[in-house]
Amino acid sequence: MTHLSIPSLPPKERLILDLLVSHGPLFGLQLVALSDGALKRGTVYVTLGRMETKGYVRSEQEAVPPGAIGLPRRLYYPTPLGERVRDAWSHMARALLPEMQS
């Protein structure tokens, strides 16, 4: 039997998509702050990098104002694919909820 390659969406990636969809574009540190401890500093970028590879999010470097000397941060946006995958997983979770609860 051939298995379809369904895009996976682990809980952390789902949480990130939820936050990006509900709050708009966010920096990594803002995602950590909004996640109530579910996302950790440092490794959040590994998750975001993986999601970027999958095409769920895109990022752009913030514009550095003249005179600023800090390192530039990255701002993350949900992609249309990421939003569709999130919607599909939400539908599936709702459809399976009665069986999962029994």
For the bound state, the minimum distance from the C-beta of residue 32 to another protein, rounded and expressed in Å, comes to: 8
> Using the rule CB under 8 A, is 67 a contact of another protein?
yes
Residue 24 binds another protein, judged by CB under 8 A: no
Candidates 17-25, 69-77, 78-86 — which segment interacts with another protein by CB under 8 A? 69-77
Sorted by sequence, the CB contacts under 8 Å of residue 12 that are 6+ apart come out as 38, 39, 47
Which residue, 12 or 86, has its beta carbon nearer to another protein? 12
CA distance 70 to 65: 10
- H or E element at residue 60: strand 57-61
Tokens (6 digits) for 81: 């694919």
Interface mask (CB under 8 A) for another protein, residues 35-54, using x and -?
-----xxxx-xx--xx-xx-
